[in-house]
Amino acid sequence: MKRIILIVTLLTTFYLQGCSAMNITESKFIRVRGTQFELDGKPYYFVGTNLWYGCYLGASDEFGDRERLIRELDNLQAIGVTNLRILAGSETSYIKKSLQPTIQIEPGVYNDQLLEGLDFLLAEMRKRNMHAVVLLNNYWEWSGGFAAYNNWTNFGEAIDPYVQTNRWGDFMNYTASFYSNEKGNELFRNFILKIITRQNKFTGDYYSEDPTIMAWQLANEPRPGQASSLANNINAFCNWIDQTAQYIKSIDPNHLVTTGSEGVIGSLQRDSVYIKAHESKFIDYATFHVWAKNWEWYDAKHPEATFPTAEANALDYFNKHMKFARLLNKPVTMEEFGLGRNLESCDPNSSTEYRDKYYKIMLNVVRDSASAGAPIAGANFWAWGGEGRGKNQDNVWQKGDPFVGDPPHEPQGLNTVFNSDQSTIDILKTNSEQMNTLRDKAFPIAKPESSNTK
């Protein structure tokens, strides 16, 4: 590990010296002050969304659609969405349901059109005063992720959970073994270096100097492994977070770094694992996600009976992570939350009654908690599909189909907010206006609490 750091340090010396000559306005970057974010000397609050496919729309070749991307960003700006969680890393995978094409075709070989698409996306976001949380990897299989790096380096048995359907647990442990894969992590660090030192073709800025970027995120929903495993991967997991974040900071001291964690449910359901994963001094803020249906709190076939349980559990989960953020003395964001349309229909014309209720509850608790000085800064709903529409009756994504927000392995339209979902859009717009007013207020910094964790 030390050898890798030394080599990369030598390779980047010239780059860093060049950047040091640039005049960077400190206040343009989002910073952390205690348990709050700060931008231009004021607290930073936001309503955001997940637009992971933004660089795909920004590409110039056959799968790109820059005109659509501009319209989507304009629509989001009109709603008041100012924070986008976007994908910068996708890897060619042996798993057939994974995303195609990919940013990294094979180790060190990149799709220039998609990288230029990322340039275009960031340039257009800057015009609208939006900020990006940039995903660098993925615990899950749908964009390649850890499993692709393991497969590239022949590290363990490559498992396709869609073929070997009884081996999802084994697959989760396989992908989590990436934390101990030295060759795989060397490739990943090469990719990190490629992205952070990239110069945007449209703005001329190096990514490390671009205040449009709020944070680098290590991965989407990194987990130590399957909850029923022996949990012997915890130390490797936490060390990987600390060392990877430290590496990013050594290249780019300007931007925040965070994990991408789901929270306790993605931490073997142990508070201590979540806290340990976020204790690193190189991790600037914590994250959590809330998935009522995925975690079996809500049944779309029986909404009246199960929605109250979903609401109670979601609010309890939210409050638990407010406590953790205070213990860590760091801000936190709810960077994924979502719910399907009534009966989990993918039809854009179907009702969003229960989703709207859920959105209102979750956005309101973020607003009320932030207003009271809690360490929460904002929420990113999953996901914005805008004018995208699924093409196939079975709702299965195929290469070349429009992007609608749902990843390729899920039914297209499942958790999508379409541009025709006016009732949902009205809720988002109202909340964004309320969150914007909080920027003019100054709250006392929340103090750490002492508490035993299990």
CATH of the domain at 407: 3.20.20.80
> Per the domain annotation, does 400 fall within a domain?
yes
Q: How far apart are CA 424 and CA 359, in angstroms?
A: 8
- The answer to whether 278 and 286 are in contact (CB under 8 A) is yes
* Among 137, 327, 386, CA closest to 247: 137
Q: Locate 146 and state its tokens.
A: 């850890």
Residue 229 confidence (pLDDT): 61
> Per the domain annotation, does 20 fall within a domain?
no
- The answer to whether 87 and 57 are in contact (CB under 8 A) is no
> Per the domain annotation, does 10 fall within a domain?
no
Q: How far apart are CA 241 and CA 259, in angstroms?
A: 7
Structure pTM? 0.92
> Per the domain annotation, does 450 fall within a domain?
no
Q: Locate 442 and state its tokens.
A: 């100054």
> Per the domain annotation, does 54 fall within a domain?
yes
The number of folded domains in the chain is 1
> CB under 8 Å to 62, separation ≥6 — which residues?
400
Q: How far apart are CA 146 and CA 309, in angstroms?
A: 34
pLDDT per 10-residue tile (average), the chain, 454 residues: 45 45 63 96 96 98 93 99 99 95 98 98 99 99 98 96 90 96 99 99 98 99 82 90 99 99 97 98 99 98 98 99 99 99 98 99 98 97 98 93 96 98 99 91 51 38
* Among 27, 134, 28, 38, CA closest to 84: 134
* Among 61, 75, 95, CA closest to 407: 95
391 by Cβ neighbours in 10 Å (0-12 / 13-18 / 19+) ranks as middle
**Chain centroid to CA 443:** 27
Q: Locate 54 and state its tokens.
A: 């933004």
Residue 450 confidence (pLDDT): 44
- Residue 265, amino acid: I
**Stretch (H or E) spanning 42:** strand 42-43
Q: What share of the chain is helix, strand, coil (3-state, %, to 5)?
A: 40, 15, 45
Phi and psi torsions of 218, nearest 5°: -60, -45
Residue 282 confidence (pLDDT): 99
Residue 360 confidence (pLDDT): 99
- The domain of 135 spans 28-438
> Per the domain annotation, does 397 fall within a domain?
yes
Residue 20 confidence (pLDDT): 41
Residue 439 confidence (pLDDT): 81
> CB under 8 Å to 45, separation ≥6 — which residues?
37, 370, 377, 378, 435, 436, 438, 439
Q: How far apart are CA 361 and CA 370, in angstroms?
A: 14
Question: What DSSP line would sit under 248-295, residue for residue?
Answer: HHHH-SSSEEE-----GGGTTT-HHHHHHHH--TT--BEEEEE-TTTT
> Per the domain annotation, does 378 fall within a domain?
yes
96 by Cβ neighbours in 10 Å (0-12 / 13-18 / 19+) ranks as exposed
* Among 375, 377, 378, CA closest to 446: 375
* Among 29, 220, 199, 88, CA closest to 142: 220
Residue 394 confidence (pLDDT): 94
Pairing status of strand 131-135 against strand 46-50: unpaired
Residue 26 confidence (pLDDT): 57
> Per the domain annotation, does 16 fall within a domain?
no
Handedness of CA 39, 40, 46, 50 (dihedral sign): negative
**Cα-only R_g, the chain:** 21
Pairing status of strand 36-39 against strand 31-33: antiparallel
Cα distance from N-terminal residue to C-terminal residue, the chain: 32
